[in-house]
Chains A and B, each alone.
Chain A
Amino acid sequence: KQEVTQIPAALSVPEGENLVLNCSFTDSAIYNLQWFRQDPGKGLTSLLLIQSSQREQTSGRLNASLDKSSGRSTLYIAASQPGDSATYLCAPGMDSSYKLIFGSGTRLLVRP
């Protein structure tokens, strides 16, 4: 059974810092891995999707890496801004149905 752990559970940083969010998963037989952002009381917004054959994906100030064999992914946020404050969720996609198994998330606060 796939289990996903995200560390840290919460993070508070001053504006402008670069930061790394960590995700680990127990079953390396994944199809892909997605990173999502969730604002309080809102739905999820997909940030990045990494195919199982890829090592990383970049979008603007965000960079996600994947090491499938060791069961790890990281989300790197450069030059953080207060608008980045949200909960970030990691979710490996399992089998051809692409169903996702979620971690509990990292709650990020970027202080002005």
Chain B
Amino acid sequence: NAGVTQTPKFRILKIGQSMTLQCAQDMNHNYMYWYRQDPGMGLKLIYYSVGAGITDKGEVPNGYNVSRSTTEDFPLRLELAAPSQTSVYFCASSSEETQYFGPGTRLLVL
């Protein structure tokens, strides 16, 4: 079991560029989540999904989009990157309650 995997580990984007952060889990979990963590802060929920084909907004969804076409994958799309999106992005999954986190993607927007 690889658990929750995220790619890339680190990326530098220019303002206005777009990119997709990949997240995959091999635990057959229905629930998946995207969080961002700014320096010295806790995590804030961006989007979440309770199953394939179902997504919903979290606390800070502006500037992001998600899709959930399969149980395993939950990509996060950034359109028109802005410096305010510089952060560490964590993907998580759960079968019911305990959430398991990926290692994170560090994103720098310049």
Which positions in A face B, CB cutoff 8 Å? 4, 6, 31-32, 34, 36, 42-46, 49, 51, 89, 91, 93, 97-105
Residues B103 and A42 in contact, CB atoms below 8 Å apart: yes
* CB closest residue in chain A, given B41: A104
Residue B45, interface by CB 8 Å = yes
Q: How far is the CB of B10 from chain A (nearest CB, A)?
A: 11
Whole-angstrom distance between the alpha carbons of A34 and B48 in the complex? 18
Residues B97 and A32 in contact, CB atoms below 8 Å apart: yes
Whole-angstrom distance between the alpha carbons of A76 and B17 in the complex? 45
The 9 A-B residue pairs with the shortest CB-CB distance in the complex, in nearest-first order: A102-B42, A43-B101, A44-B101, A102-B43, A104-B42, A43-B103, A103-B42, A49-B98, A99-B48
Residues A97 and B48 in contact, CB atoms below 8 Å apart: yes
Which label, helix, strand, loop or mixed, suits the secondary structure of the A interface?
strand
Chain B residues within an 8 Å CB radius of A31: 97
Residues B97 and A49 in contact, CB atoms below 8 Å apart: yes
Q: How far is the CB of B91 from chain A (nearest CB, A)?
A: 9
